[in-house]
Structure 1
Amino acid sequence: MKSLFVIPLALMILCACNDQYNTKTEQPTPADYTAGEKWIWKYKGVTTEGEVRSEGTDTRVVVSYDGVLGMTIGKDTIPIAEIAKPDDSETPKYDWPLEIGKKWKYENNWTSQDGTTGNQSQTAEVLSFKEETVEAGTFMAYTIKYSGKTTNSRGYNANETEVWLYAPAVKNFIKLTQDQGEFHYVEELIEYSKPK
């Protein structure tokens, strides 16, 4: 009698595990966001010598202005349609849909406020999709590892490894760990809320 119960139970567990590994996540669309949705991360960047170079919190909120949804980022408000726009780049930050084992190349060219130009060139791989716990709670999240180099026009050149935990339920990353040369940076979601 016990074996009749154990076999279906074992099959259910195997199916549940198998679904986890077959998961694909598409990029969020503007319809997935709600006015009043809010994310708060804490961040800290420290050199290998223990000098704190950055520390604080970053808050983003979805707001409605003139009937259009936007997200506050610092002092700016970016339309959600812009944030959720598909990235046509051949070297995107996220290569949608996300799924375990997917690999791609990420390139980012940038210019800072002081005119310094720079480049990030990394290989990316989705390593897992499983429960991850951060201060804001426990979420199913993809672990995405980026490895490569960062250079800039001032002669800076450093190897870099980043691990991003992306949680589809919050449409954002819940944790970032970055090692760049002699600098270690961690950013973690400490609060996520959505109007009911």
Structure 2
Amino acid sequence: MKNRFIVLFAFTILSACNNKIKSGITQQPTLNDYTIGEKWVWKYKGVTTEGEIRSEGTDTRKVVKFGEVLGMTIGKDTIPISEITKPEVSETPKYDWPLKVGKKWKYENNWTSQDGTTGSLSQNAEVLSYQEETVEAGAFMAYTIKYIGKTTNSRGYNADETEVWLYAPAVKNFIKLTQSQGDFHYVEELIEYSK
């Protein structure tokens, strides 16, 4: 469940990406980059090295009218797009905008899960490439962003972690996430995108 929480948090931040690319540089999006009815569907699966499936299913996000503003559905919640596109103010952000190949930074995050467990994550991030990548939803130009670090929590958990995100500016989102954390391996892949 903790891994799913981290992925959902990261998704929220990552969905703040935008499709404006200038000279191989991608800027963070604005509210105007989203349209009502825009929809993303991912399939995900998390498996231990022993083969135990800890999470599996699909995750859907959709842009909807939310009162007088645009919102994005996330599970049973709807978050205003203005919150998703708000710049992250941090010396150790999840995404250090603008994105460009070769960029490196440090990402740190402290969190609390629904059951009260606290934890921290510290990773070194690097944008490795920008090239065409193919997933079930199709072929997209995408940045490969690799994070390497460590996750710990208040229950004594301590594991090395590697994440690889494929972020496609054309869909303003990630198209694939591969995560290895201790004995747990997680993959999430975009299977549908529509406007």
Residue by residue, what CA displacement relative to the aligned partner does 1:97-152 show, whole Å, maximum 9, x if unpaired? 00000000011111001000011100000000000000000000000000000000
1:109-148 to 2 correspondences below 5 Å: 109-148=110-149
1:1-80 to 2 correspondences below 5 Å: 22-80=23-81
Which residue identity lines up with residue 131 of structure 2 in the other structure? Answer: K
Q: Let me know the Cα RMSD of the aligned residues.
A: 1.2
Give 1:16's aligned residue: none
Once superposed, which parts of structure 1, at least 4 consecutive aligned residues long, lie more than 6 Å away? none
Q: Write the distance in 1 (CA, Å) between the matches of 2:147 and 2:44.
A: 19
Using structure 1 for the length normalisation, give the TM-score. Answer: 0.88
Give 1:152's aligned residue: 153
Give 2:105's aligned residue: 104
Which residue identity lines up with residue 145 of structure 1 in the other structure? Answer: K
Q: Write the distance in 2 (CA, Å) between the matches of 1:108 and 1:35.
A: 31
Count of equivalent residues? 175
Give 1:81's aligned residue: 82
Secondary structure of 1:63's counterpart equals: strand
Give 1:186's aligned residue: 187
Residue by residue, what CA displacement relative to the aligned partner does 1:40-68 show, whole Å, maximum 9, x if unpaired? 00000000000100000000000012220
| Gap runs ≥5 in structure 1 | 1-19
Tell me if the contact between 1:22 and 1:99 (Cα under 8 Å) persists in the aligned partners: no
Which residue identity lines up with residue 151 of structure 1 in the other structure? Answer: T
Using structure 2 for the length normalisation, give the TM-score. Answer: 0.88
Deviation of the 1:88 alpha carbon: 1.2
| Greater Rg over alpha carbons, structure | 1
Give the % identical residues: 82
Q: CA, structure 1 residues 70+21, in 2 after alignment: closer, same or farther (shift >3 Å)?
A: closer
Secondary structure of 1:107's counterpart equals: strand
Secondary structure of 2:25's counterpart equals: coil
